[in-house]
Amino acid sequence: MRTSHPFDPRNRNGYVLIMTLFFLAASLMTLASVMWWAASCDKETRRNELFTTAEAAAEAANETVVANLDRDWSYQQLLQAASVYQNLALPVQTAWPMKFQYSDGSGNNNKIGVNIGYQVFTNALGSQFANLAGYIYPCTITSTATTSNQLYTVSATVQQVVNATIIPLFQFGLFYNMNLEIDPGAAMTFKGPVFSNGGIWSGTPNMTYNSTVAAAGNIYYLATNGVSTNPWCIGKSDTGTPLTNFLSRPIAKEDSLNLPIGTNNNPGSVEAIINLPVGTNGAPNAYAYTTNGQVYYFNQADLIVSNSPNGLAGKNGTNITIWFQDNQQANALTPLTNDLYVFKTNGGSGLSWTNVLVNTNGLYSATNVAYQGYSFVTNVSFYDYRESDTNQAVQIDVGKLSTWLTNTSTTGGKNWNAMNYTDKGRGIFSIYVYNNVSNSASQLPCVRVANGAQLPYTTDPGGSGRSTGGLTVVTPQPLYVLGNYNVQTNGGTAMASAGTTNTANTYPASLIGDAITILSANWRDTNGPNTTMAMRLNPTNTTINAATMEGIVQSTNSSYSGGLENFLRLEENWSGVTLTYNGSIVVMFPSQYATSAWPGTGSVYNPPTRNWAFDLNYTNPNKLPPLTPKVYKIIRASWNDY
C-alpha cells in the first residue's frame, strides 16, 4: 500500500522565489509603463506648448498683412498687388525667447501667403452688416511658423479670409456720421439698417426699428425723467426702463466706418466731398479722374452747372454756364451751347418775350436777342422762413432736362447723351450745381429741383439697347424740392408711386446738399417775410422717392437739432397732410449755409403725417442711385489653424 508524503519545503521555497520574481517583473513593467507614459505626456505637452506658441507666431505674421490691407483699403480705397503683401517684413524676433522659421504655407520661406480674389457681389456681408449687401474682394492670408533650435520641430499654420468690402452708403436705411437723435411726437417706424459713427439717442417709445441698430459710440434708449431725456445730452449717463422698440438689441461701441475722404471721420473733412475740390484736385486736372479724385462729386458729375455772382433771380437765367464732363474726350469739360434764346418783339422796344429754340430768319443778331440761356436751368427767388433769407436759387427743371436729353438739334442733348453711353456705358444721369451768388445775412445761394414727378429715362441713341433712368443732383448749398419727385413710371402720366411705399416703378435717384427742404406743389414763390403760415396755402400730399445726403444743425445745450424726424425741412402748415418719403437717409456733416437752429413748430411749419420707408430697391446693386457714396471696410470672414 502506497502512502502520500508531506510537501517538500524545498519545493515551497522555489515557488516563493518564482512568485517574487514574477511580481518584481510586473512592478518593473508597471514602472516602465508609468515612466514611458510620463515621458510621452511630457513630450505631448511640450509639443502642444510649441504648437500654441508657433500658432501665435503665425498669427502675428497674418495680422501684419491684415493691418496693411486695412490701411490701404479703409483709407486709400485701393489694394496693392498680392506680391507686395507677401513680402512684407515679418515679425521681429529679437526679443522673443523662441525663434521661428516663417513660410507661406506652400514651402516658400520668409514669405506670407496672400491671394486676392476677384470682386464679387454678396447679400451677406456678415459681422454687424449682416442685413447689408456690397462688393467684396476676398483676401486669403496663410502663414506657417516652424520652431527653430528646439527639442522638437513643430509647425503651426494660420489661415484667415478677410473681405475688402465696399458698402454703398444708401444700403443703410439711416446712416449718421455724427450723433443721431430721434424723438418723434407720433408713432414712427424705420425699416432699414441704422448705423451711427457717433452715438444714438432714441428718446421715445414712439420710434420702432425693424432692422439692425448699431453705433460706434454709446446708445441711449431709456425712458427716464432725468436730464438725459433732453436730446442734446448724448454721452451723459442714463438710467431707467428700456424701451421695447427694437427688432434686436442695439449694438454700441462698434468699429466706425471710414468715409470716402480724409483719414478720419471728422464731419468738417467729410463735407469736402460736396464742395468744389481745392487746387489741382478738381476737374479737368488729371488727379480728378484718379480713384482718390473721384470721391469729389464735382469730378464725377455728367453735367456741371454754375453761374456768376450777378446771375440773380429775375434775370431769366443769365450768366449760367453748363459743362459736359467726360474725361475720355480731348476736353474733359466742354461748355454746352445755349439752347434757349429769348428775342425782343415789337422792334426791340416792347416788354414781351418769345421763347425760340431754333434760329428763324436770322433772329440771332445781337439787336434781336434779349438773352440766351438753357431750356432746363434758370434763376428763381423765394423766401426761406427758417433762415429768414431771400433765396437766390439756380433751378433745374427736371421735365425740361428730359426733353433736352432727347433733343436732336445741334444745341440739344441727344449727342451728348450718346457720347456718355459710348464712353461711360450709360446716359447722362447726374448734375452738380454750384451757385456763385454771395451768401449774406439776407441772401442765401441755393439750388431747387422742380417738375420732377418723372425723372429722365433714355435709351442709347447708338443702338446698343442700353437704357438709363434716374437722376442725382448735388450741390454744396441748400437744396429744395418743389412738388412730387420720382413718382411716375416711364412714359406714363399716372402718379404710380405717389402716397405709397411701393417703389417698384421708380428710378434710382438721390438728392445731396447742405440741407434739404421740401416744398409742396401749393408753394408760392410770392410768399414773403410778412406772409404768415396762416396766409400761405396749405400744402398738398407730397411724395419724395430719393436717397438723401445732407447736413444738419446739431443740438446744443439750449436747442434741439430737430432729430431724424425733422431732417427734411418744411416751410408750410403740413398738419393733417401726408409727406411720403421712400429712400435712405445719410447725414454727414454740419450745415455750412443753412445754419439756423431748428425753430420748432407753429411759426415756420407744422409737422406732417409721416409715411416713411427705406427703399428696398437699394438692396439691389443695379438699382442704387447714381454716384452712390461708398464706405470701405475690412471685414473678417473666417479663421482656421492647423
What is the DSSP track for 442-470? SEEEEEEEES-SS--EEE-TTSS--EEE-
Same domain, yes or no: 535 and 462? yes
**By three-state DSSP, how is residue 202 classified?**
strand
pLDDT-based confidence at residue 587 (cuts at 50, 70, 90):
very high
Q: Is 562 helix (H, G, I), strand (E, B) or coil?
A: coil
- Between the alpha carbon of residue 405 and those of residues 360, 428, 526, 560, the distances in Å are 22, 8, 31, 44
Task: Tell me which residue range forms the domain holding 398.
Answer: 308-335+375-626
Q: Is residue 278, in this structure, part of any structural domain at all?
A: no
pLDDT higher than threshold 60 for residue 244: no
DSSP string, 292-335: TGGGSHHHH-SEEEEE-TT--TTSTTTTEEEEEE-TTSSSSEEE
pLDDT over 90 (residue 527):
yes
**Residue 429's pLDDT is what?**
95
Minimum mean pLDDT range among 96-100, 276-280, 461-465, 472-476: 461-465
Same domain, 535 and 452: yes
Percent of the chain with pLDDT over 90: 52
How many domains, in total, are found in the chain? 4
Least Cα distance to 324 among 417, 235, 392 occurs for 417
pLDDT, tens digit, 9 for 90 and up, residues 251-262: 888 888 877 665
- Total number of residues shown for the chain: 642
Same domain, 560 and 413: yes
Of 257, 277, 299, the residue at which a domain comes to its end is 257
pLDDT per residue as tens digits for the range 310-338: 655 444 445 789 999 999 999 999 999 88
Give per-residue pLDDT as tens, 168-224. 999 999 999 999 998 888 888 888 899 999 988 887 778 888 888 889 988 877 544
Mean of the per-residue pLDDT values of the chain: 84
Q: Residue 1 domain-assigned?
A: no
What is the pLDDT, as a whole number, of residue 498? 85
Higher per-residue confidence, 19 vs 137: 137
pLDDT level of residue 496 (50, 70, 90 thresholds): low
Cβ atoms of 615 and 543 closer than 8 Å: no
642 or 481, which is more confident = 481
Asked, as a colleague might, if the bond just before 608 is cis with ω within 30 of 0, I would say no
Residues 486, 344 share a domain? no
Using the structure block, give the residue that is written with the C-alpha cell 502642444. 48
Residue that is last in its domain, among 373, 394, 420: 373
Place of cell 445731396: 512
Q: Could you tell me if 352 and 252 lie in one domain?
A: no
Do 610 and 472 share a structural domain?
Answer: yes
- Is pLDDT at 1 greater than 60 in this prediction? no
pLDDT of 433-471, one tens digit each? Answer: 999 888 888 899 999 999 999 999 998 888 888 888 999
pLDDT at res. 130: 75
With contact defined as beta carbons under 8 Å apart, do 633 and 258 qualify?
A: yes
Whole-number pLDDT of residue 339: 84
pLDDT over 70 (residue 67): yes
Q: Which three cell numbers stand for residue 351?
A: 416788354
Same domain, 572 and 597: yes
More confident residue, 460 or 431: 431
Q: What is the mean pLDDT of residues 293-311?
A: 87
Same domain membership, residue 497 and residue 472: yes
4 is a domain residue: no
Separation of alpha carbons 388 and 444, rounded Å: 9
Q: Is residue 383 part of a domain?
A: yes
Same domain, 380 and 459: yes
Report if residue 295 sits inside a domain: no
Residue 494 confidence (pLDDT):
57
C-alpha cell at 204: 421715445
pLDDT at 451: 96
Nearest alpha carbon to residue 562 among 218, 570, 210, 268: 570
Dihedral sign, Cα of residue 243, residue 246, residue 247, residue 251:
negative
- For 352-394, the pLDDT digits (tens) are 444 444 444 444 555 566 677 889 999 899 999 999 999 999 9
Whole-angstrom distance, CA of residue 451 vs CA of residue 386: 24
The predicted model gives 304-309 an average pLDDT of: 85
Residue 146 lies in a domain: yes
Would 292 be classed as within a structural domain? no
**Is 156 found in the same domain as 88?**
yes
Share of the chain above pLDDT 70, in %: 81
For residues 399 and 546, state if they share a domain: yes
Per residue, what are the HEC states of 36-94?
HHHHHHHHHHHHHHHHHHHHHHHHHHHHHHHHHHHHHHHHHCCCCCHHHHHCCCCCCCC
Q: Considering the entire predicted model, what is its pTM? A: 0.85
Residues 65 and 18 in one domain: yes
The reported pLDDT for the residue numbered 9 is 54
Confirm if 288 and 281 have CB atoms less than 8 A apart. Answer: yes
* pLDDT value at residue 501: 87
Smallest CA-to-CA distance from 132 within 222, 193, 71, 65 is with 193
Cα(553)–Cα(154) distance, integer angstroms:
61
Mean pLDDT to the nearest integer, 53-61: 92
pLDDT given for residue 310 in this prediction:
62
Residue 43 belongs to a domain: yes
